[in-house]
Chains A and B, each alone.
Chain A
Amino acid sequence: MTAAGLVNSMVLSLLDKAPPMGVIPDTVPVAEAAVRPELWWAGLILYLPLLSLVLCGLCAAFKVKTKLPAWLTTASLLASFVVSVMLYLNHEPPGYLVPLLSWIDLSWAGGDFVANFTLYIDSLSLLWVMFVTGLGTLITFYASEYMEADLGKGYTRFFAGVSVFLFAMVALVLADNLVMLYLGWEGVGFASYWLIGYYYQRPAAVAAAKKAFIMNRIGDLGLALAIYLIWSTFGTIQYDELMVVLREGSWAESYEGWTIDVIPWFLMLAAFGKSAQIPLYVWLPDAMEGPTPVSALIHAATMVTAGIYLVARTYEFFLLSPESLHVVAWVGGLTALLAATIGMAQYDIKRIMAYSTVSQLGFMFLGLGVLSTYGAVYHVFTHAFFKAALFLTCGAIMHGFAGQLDLRKLSGLIRIPGWRITSIAMLIGCLALAGFPLTSGYFSKDAILAEAFVTQGPGFEALGWMAIFTAFLTAYYTFRVWFRVCAGKVEYEPGDEHHGDDDHGHSDGHFHPHAPRFAMNFVMAVIAIGAMVATVPYFLDTKADEALAGGWVADMVHDSTARGGLPGLDGHGQPISESGAHDHHDHDDHAHPTILGMDPHFAMYIISGVVGGLGLLLAAWLHLFRRQDADRLRAALMGRWWIAWLPRAMERKWYVDEIYIGLVRAPLWVASHLMYAFDRFLIDGVLVDGVARIPRLVARWFQPLHNGIIQSYAVTMAGGLALIALLMILFLQFWNIGGGG
């Protein structure tokens, strides 16, 4: 079969795939999106963070030493959130375009390249933009208190960075074309660089910021190449035009080439960079050098999910090349496991949360890979809340205990006055992260795990069991934190950070933790409630079709470009019909997938509930009731050489950083030095200076002219020029006659 034929058949199978038994009506028509300039005010979602950036700039210029920048930013972001919600309330699928400004708009005979600042508003972008601006507002409000020690110093710079981030993130999500997405993509990377490096006098922060930017650049390279590939294959990079072309499938008739098979791989590289997956995940744990609100907002809730967004947005390309989805699933699953094992062995609670983020992002990619875009998106949504809650509580602890993050040096927080909200919010976050039954994380994780058993793919069943094992580890390490830090008897040691002002320091020999006040408590409470309420969408009726499982989020995914992976095609006792087979290779495999003889979704409710409970119990045993046992167990493990390497390797993060330095950075560094030596000694020294010596020898004949005075060069030059020109003309004339004759 020719490549074109293969592609064509894939496209046809895709088209067939959509509505088995007319379950899902085709609400996304094959037509370009309508342009609705009357919704210009949607642009405010972008302009408001920009406005807040400008206002912060003015605050910096006028050396404002109050909390004004924080209020300005919070107000702008709140307004931005309100506009997003208004947009959602006005929304009717399918998506439409809102043009704002021209940007790059080239056209010539036979083609064009258009990348304008135009918003593409569909349910997927609305979903994202609402939780991004909503959480952005809350976390900014939280930061107004958290960052107060830096008032008059970096305070304004911090909120300016948050504004830049929000602008870029919203641009990324609302873009109608891949180049504007790229703008947001690099923009959030830059904002992340800015905010990770916030404490710029700390070498570790500077190094982490640099590492994040460069690692992200590797991903950006993938995105850039994907854009080139997409444009040169389809002649457009605007989503709506691309979707029309892809859905119609007519391009495949005349298509002969290789590009369609590699596009998803480059998109994948981009997504793995931004969303911290193997092999590009190492920047995210280091990014915890930034202030904690930044970790909560950028490195947990929003920015790192941009990779998921990208894949969901360009899902049609992945469907054209199923192998790429298999890789996405496996990379996601392996990252989830690897990061969970590292997270288990860390002592810094913020780092544990960072590895947990990497691990949860792995789950999301697993979901994308096993054709559950719905599960992935839902998990993004729930994760945003519960992980933000966890980070914000970690931040409150860090803030109150002078930077202390070591879970061995904190205990019984729930019993200290003023720390109840923090502890309970953290508990709610932990329950959801651990996938405790009936929490939001439970449902969203199930939507992914079950699908791993439904979808046919290379080793997907093993992958599913691996993911279940990872879920067990997740429950364990999550509650290891909570039981150590919040439960048990009251014991603590302060960290070594005094936030500049030492009013609560060691002056009297005692350390008094200062509990979070209104802003922080309020935000932690709201987000914790949000983490609980995030369960509700699962039970909401869908507008689109009753047969569509998954509630509101599924509804949102259904109306977007990510609808290639939706529930409803299975479950509810309906076998997947032949054209609905998730894997395009296995058209003849109609077996109803089961787990242990049960319906996958139903089985998964039980399995993951049990697994989560077991992990929780193990953590309770080792880290609440019998902490000495845990220490003894660790000592026993470390004492036996044949097993000691395992905990040690987990603690040292499997030496991945060291491997990268040894395999990539060091050789490149040596090579660069060699090149520099080559440049100076060979190219410049031997070649250039060598050649330059020849005329110098010749010049000896004209010694009298070389009187050493600089000005005479000009005269010599003019004379020399004339002479050489004359010679050349004569020479050329001669040569031409000789050559031509």
Chain B
Amino acid sequence: MIWGWIMLLLPIIGALGVVVSSGRAARSLALWTSLATFGASIVAAVNFGVWGTGEFGLVSSIPWMSEVGISISIGADSVSMMLVLLTTFLMPLAVLGSWTAVNERLKEYYGWLLLIETAMIGVFLARDLVFFYVCFEFTLVPMYFLIAIYGGSGRARACVKFFLYTFTGSLIALVGFLYVAWSNMESTGQWSFDIATLTTFAAGMPLADQLWILTALVIGFAVKIPLFPVHTWLPLAHTEAPTAGSVILAGVLLKLGTYGLYRFALPMTPEAVVEWAPILGILSIVGILYAGLICWVQTDVKKLVAYSSVSHLGFCVLGIFALNPMGLQGSVLYMINHGLSTGALFFLVGMMYERYHTRDMDSIGGLAKRMPIWAFFMVFFVLASVGLPGLNGFVSEFLCLLGTFAAGESGSYPGVLGPWFAAFAALGMIVAAMYLLIMVGKIVFGSLKEPAGTDRHGLSVDLNAREITVLVPLAVLCILLGVQPWIAMDAMDGSVVEILSVYQPSEVAQQMVDAGSAWVAGSPSP
């Protein structure tokens, strides 16, 4: 369908326009382009036609290197479509949020911003493995420049580490993908990089192979998520990135990792996933608690929010490896919710930084007195992040944990996590309340403390209309997804069941029985 291509191409065209435009016009052009892309994605969503089913919409393909089976093919299931919507929704806000924060090299800045949008949409829409990988890797380049040029004082180290770390990770994932493609070629005699074909093929490979493939994929995606212990690039990158960079990083880029697990790891290597889920579950839990406790002792607000992402995404990964519809739906919802609430938190920290030029919690305090509107939004999004029921974070966190808890006994699904995993992960609820409320207690409440010689660079004391415009849509969505989450859950229902279909005993167990292996006992197939 045409709207998929429009979504992909609009930002590129916009980026070209930005590059040839002059100075200040760049940001308006970027804003309009991103809004147009958002509009296109809305139209695409309305005409999507396959909401709630497990099927793919927007399917379309352009031949590229047909002799080796590579094409630029796109298509989206409901989950992909939702993540596309999240991306296109956050983008205009990111542009608007950078309005006064970025004052030099505007053309480059907005150009990179629009290019990364195309890359992210490409990742979610890709139905060809090579196209997916190209987009996946290409997200690094704009982000690299956004950090390297517009970042904070430690940007040089941060951007190199960000780039090399995630690049290395995805190379390892590539190895896994290529191995699947090559095996497929061996078996069928011709190359194909069609994701559906390769997925089906990989799911039938022996356990030993699947374990290798899963290892490669998990390493690649875990770095991106980031999962403990490969998370250390994130606090650095977040702290140094400009506000819009942080928002995109937290809002969408991290989700590329969890989306990768959803799209590839789960359906490609079901037997291996069953084997490995406990280990990944433990890593997630360690991440939740470890990063949460680290948040507690931060003095830099932005670093605190960055570490909180590590902690939060632990829940997300846990939900994925619960291997049942509840956990997986909770996890997908978590991706969206985390994008909204953490994105908003980065915006808020950025707005504070623009006024005070510090993120040090010890030198700032009691801002509710000075900036009541800012304080209202800060508390609001902190509560969304903490998982207060009625706001969005709760439903997804609850479902991830419920799915994990019930994993051992959820009927037809072979969940291998269980009550203990959920119980330990749930401690993260307390830890999250601790660090976030302590942060709020320091910077929002208490007696007013402002750094000496505060220069607001022409910004109003409290938030201005533009900044409120950035935050209100996020807040509205937080409430909407908190009160009526079934809208999103009904929409993704079929896709999630489809992804998990390989775990149904009717198929998996039968294959297992046929293959003479006993996955229940956990022994690798011969």
Binding site for B on A (CB under 8 A): 101-106, 108-111, 113, 179, 182-183, 186-187, 190, 193, 197, 200-201, 203, 206-207, 209-210, 213-214, 217-218, 220-221, 224-225, 227-229, 231-232, 668-669, 671-673, 675-676, 679-680, 683-684, 687-688, 692, 695, 710, 713-714, 717, 721, 724-725, 728-729, 732-733, 736
Contact = CB atoms under 8 A, between A and B. Distances in A.
A684 B163 CA distance: 15
B426 A187 contact: no
A736 B427 CA distance: 44
| Residue in B409, B445, B483 whose Cβ sees the most chain A Cβ within 10 Å | B445
Given A179-B389, A692-B165, A724-B171, 8 more contacts: A106-B489, A108-B497, A109-B411, A113-B402, A231-B402, A672-B294, A684-B236, A724-B174
Given A106-B326, A213-B433, A675 B294 contact: yes
Contact of B486 (A105, A197, A227, A714): A105
A668 B325 CA distance: 35
A217 B430 contact: yes
Contacts of A220: 429
A650 B398 CA distance: 41
Interface in B142-194: 144-145, 148, 161, 163-165, 167, 171, 174-175, 178-179, 182-183
A182 B389 contact: yes
A669 B389 CA distance: 28
11 contacts: A109-B411, A111-B411, A187-B390, A200-B366, A200-B444, A203-B447, A206-B446, A225-B423, A683-B232, A729-B178, A736-B179
A207 B442 CA distance: 10
Contacts of B485: 103-104
B484 to A, nearest CB: 7
Mostly, the B contact residues are helix
| Residue in A110, A200, A203, A221 whose Cβ sees the most chain B Cβ within 10 Å | A200
Interface of B: 137, 141, 144-145, 148, 161, 163-165, 167, 171, 174-175, 178-179, 182-183, 229, 232-233, 236, 290, 293-294, 296-298, 325-326, 329, 366, 368-369, 383, 388-390, 394-395, 398-399, 401-402, 405-406, 409-412, 419, 422-423, 426-427, 429-430, 433-434, 437-438, 441, 444-448, 483-486, 489, 493, 497
A229 B446 CA distance: 40
A710 B156 CA distance: 11
| Residue in B148, B232, B411, B489 whose Cβ sees the most chain A Cβ within 10 Å | B232
B409 A232 contact: yes
Contact of A232 (B233, B405, B446, B497): B405
Given A217-B430, A232-B405, A688-B232, A104 B489 contact: yes
B174 to A, nearest CB: 6
A201 B163 contact: no
Contacts of A182: 389
Given A106-B489, A668-B293, A673-B297, A206 B441 contact: yes
Contact of A109 (B368, B412, B437): B412
Given A104-B489, A183-B389, A201 B182 contact: no
A725 B398 contact: no
Q: When A and B form their complex, which 9 residue pairs have the shortest distance between CB atoms, in order from nearest?
A: A183-B389, A684-B232, A110-B411, A228-B405, A672-B293, A200-B445, A206-B445, A232-B406, A217-B433
Given A214-B430, A732-B175, A197 B390 contact: no
A669 B390 contact: no
B388 A214 contact: no
Given A113-B326, A717-B167, A736 B183 contact: yes
Given A106-B329, A725-B174, A200 B232 contact: no
Contact of B395 (A104, A209, A669): A104
A103 B402 CA distance: 16
B318 to A, nearest CB: 13
Mostly, the A contact residues are helix
A214 B427 CA distance: 12
Contact of A228 (B174, B232, B419): B419
Contacts of A183: 389-390, 394
A110 B369 CA distance: 54
A132 B197 CA distance: 61
Contacts of B369: 201
A732 B433 contact: no
Contacts of B236: 684
A209 B410 CA distance: 39
Contacts of B446: 200-201, 203, 206
Contacts of B497: 108
Contact of B294 (A209, A676, A688, A724): A676
A692 B401 contact: no
B467 to A, nearest CB: 16
B483 A103 contact: yes
A103 B486 contact: yes
Given A109-B412, A221-B426, A729 B232 contact: no
Nearest to B489: A106
Contact of B398 (A179, A210, A732): A179
A728 B232 contact: no
A679 B297 CA distance: 12
Contacts of B326: 106, 113
B402 A201 contact: no
B137 A221 contact: no
B478 to A, nearest CB: 14
Contacts of A724: 171, 174
Given A210-B438, A692-B164, A732 B389 contact: no
Contacts of B493: 106
A108 B325 contact: yes
Contact of B401 (A110, A228, A710): A228
A201 B447 contact: yes
Contacts of A683: 229, 232
